Amino acid sequence: MSAPQAVSDVVFVCGRNSVRSPMAEALLRQQAGTRSSVQSCGVEPADLADGFMIAVMREEGVDLSGFEPQGLEGVSAGPQSLVICLAAEAHGAAEAFAAACGARVEHWYFADPAIIEGGREARLDAYRAIRDALKSRISTLAL
């Protein structure tokens, strides 16, 4: 089994850049510090970051209250980049973006916690589960 390829430039892509991809961007920044360039974007960016996402990231000591969702046109990548698609609905766009940049692409599909119904605590638990799953998966990247 070969060692994972070192990553120095990562672009996380999801549907709206309001939950999963900003979480992933912030978690990788927290882990990698200045060793990696990290960006995130959405295929159809939301107007605002999701409030539950902001709350569960605050629990990790990360302030995303000023985060502004952006589209693919707001990020850049190159042959040394890794594009990580976090949502099935972004598959085609992530593939096309990576191909246009000559970047590698991986698919890490995570459910959208924003679709969970229920009370505040049930919804926060869904967001925490995604945050923790992202954190675990990100910890496997070779930086």
CATH architecture of 9-136: 3-Layer(aba) Sandwich (3.40)
What is the pLDDT, as a whole number, of residue 1? 46
Q: Which of 113, 95, 117 is nearest to 105 (CA)?
A: 95
CB 45 within 8 A of CB 16: yes
What's the pTM value of the predicted model, to 2 decimals? 0.94
Query: How far is residue 91 from each of residues 5, 6, 17, 112, measured CA to CA in Å?
Result: 22, 23, 14, 14
Q: For the chain, give every domain's residue range.
A: 9-136
DSSP state of 80: T
pLDDT tens, residue by residue, 93-141: 999 999 999 999 999 999 999 999 999 999 999 999 999 999 999 999 9
Beta carbons within 8 Å of 141's beta carbon, 6+ residues apart: 4, 7, 10, 28
